Amino acid sequence: MCQDFQVDIYFQQKWEDSRLRHNNTRRFLIKDPKLFSQIWHPDIYFANARTSSFHEVTQPNFLVWIYPNGTIWYDCRISLTVLCMQRLARYPLDSQKCDMRILSYIRMPDMKMGMIDKTTRMDEYATGIWSCAIATFHGHRELTHHILQSYIPTALIVFVSWFSFWLDVEAVPGRVSLSITTLLTLATQSSAARMSLPQASDVKAIDIWMGTCMTFVFLAMIEFTIVNYCTRRKNRRRRKKSVKGLSDQVHELVSQYKEKKNQLLQRNGTSCYEVAMLPADPESQEKIDRKQIRELNQAPPLYIKRNLLPTSKRKALEERISRVEENRKFAQAIDRNSRIYFPLTFGVFNILYWGYYLKFATDEY
């Protein structure tokens, strides 16, 4: 988008020159550019035009009528690129007012522009006060294009980012991929929308929309971070544990195994005999420990899980399972609330956004 507009106009002038009076009862036409160049005509120019050109295909597009009383009517076709400093605070919901300023080099304030009746004013320059005719063009921007190219795609990206609220709290790769993908896609969409705009310091309506959509996507990623933290949080009460060596832990495990094994055999009505042998050297004791550990590993899983655990460890395991389940329920509650509050907040934002820019905001010219 450039700060100018292009027009193709039929520029008409009318003036009187007593030297061109004639006795004919009818006007006559001049189409020769060389002949017209020998006739005096106002030195009119477009003050805020970047470029301008006459049309000469297939013949020079102009005509001159000379009336019997010396009145001259001049009509030509001109293409102009006119400067227009736009105010983009409401873009793309804005309307613009652009002026095309028409001045003369040689006429003073008493000059009267008969064919241009929109606006006239006096401008003061270093060479004096000059009259200026202003043709004002009002334009309203077509909103359908921007709705289809900017608003609907970005809103759909925001909706897609909310799909993570329906994924399982343990689906970390899926939720991370969805959040990052939607955030990057929205950033690309926002960058593409800004590339078509001129550099301006105004905070535009499209900037507020893109910024809000990106905020919602980013908040969805933050929500996942909070949910993931809640599922993994631990009890802050830290118990002091005695540090034991590897050999002490092995002996403790073996003794627990012997105790549970004897209890199980006595419950089944059989006797259990354990022969205590004092090893002659540490190597013999290590062999015995290894044999008992192999026997422990070959025991049934249910027996290992239920019967070999002492009461304290079984209680700690149950507390841990209970805490994990509680954390999971809390995280799922956050997801359920997000499914309601995120769409509700986005809907409120849309009501405020469209209501303000379509009903209350006005363009400042």
- Residues 81, 152: one domain? no
Question: Is residue 323 domain-resident?
Answer: no
pLDDT at 271: 45
pLDDT at 339: 93
Identity of residue 283: E
- Residues 153, 217: one domain? yes
- Residues 161, 207: one domain? yes
Q: What is the 3-state secondary structure (H, E, C) of 146-186?
A: HHHHHHHHHHHHHHHHHHHHHCCCCCHHHHHHHHHHHHHHH
CATH number at residue 73: 2.70.170.10
Give the residue from 84, 109, 140 where a domain finishes: 140
Phi, psi of 117 (to 5 degrees): -115, 20
pLDDT at 298: 52
Which structure tokens are listed for 75? 């009509």
- Residues 125, 18: one domain? yes
What number of other Cβ atoms are within 10 A of residue 100's Cβ? 22
- Residues 125, 47: one domain? yes
3-state secondary structure of 291: helix
Question: Is residue 44 domain-resident?
Answer: yes
0.85 exceeded by pTM: no
Which residue, chain included where needed, has tokens 């409120």?
A: 348
- Residues 133, 214: one domain? no
Q: Give how many domains the chain has, as a whole number.
A: 2
3-state secondary structure of 105: coil
Phi, psi of 79 (to 5 degrees): -110, 130
pLDDT at 274: 43
Distance of CA 362 to the CA centre of its chain: 24
- Residues 59, 134: one domain? yes
Question: Is residue 247 domain-resident?
Answer: no
Domain that holds residue 32: 4-140
Residues in the chain: 365
Which structure tokens are listed for 71? 């009145």
Q: How many CA atoms lie within 13 A of 124 on its CB side?
A: 0
CATH number at residue 218: 1.20.58.390
Which structure tokens are listed for 306? 């239920």
Question: Is residue 304 domain-resident?
Answer: no
Q: What is the pLDDT along the chain (365 residues), one digit of tens a residue?
A: 677 778 888 888 888 888 888 888 888 888 888 888 888 888 888 888 888 888 888 888 899 999 999 899 999 999 988 888 777 777 777 777 777 888 776 544 433 333 434 677 787 777 677 777 777 766 667 778 888 888 999 999 999 999 999 988 888 888 899 989 999 999 888 888 777 676 667 788 888 999 999 999 999 999 999 998 888 776 555 444 444 555 566 566 667 666 666 666 666 554 444 444 444 455 555 555 555 555 544 544 444 444 455 566 666 667 777 777 888 888 889 999 999 999 999 999 999 999 998 888 776 65
Rounded to whole angstroms, the maximal C-alpha distance in the chain is: 149
- Residues 206, 346: one domain? yes
- Residues 115, 212: one domain? no
| Contact (CB, 8 A) for 364 and 87 | yes
CA distances to 165, 233, 240, 324, 329 from 237, rounded to whole Å, are: 31, 12, 10, 15, 21
- Residues 340, 224: one domain? yes
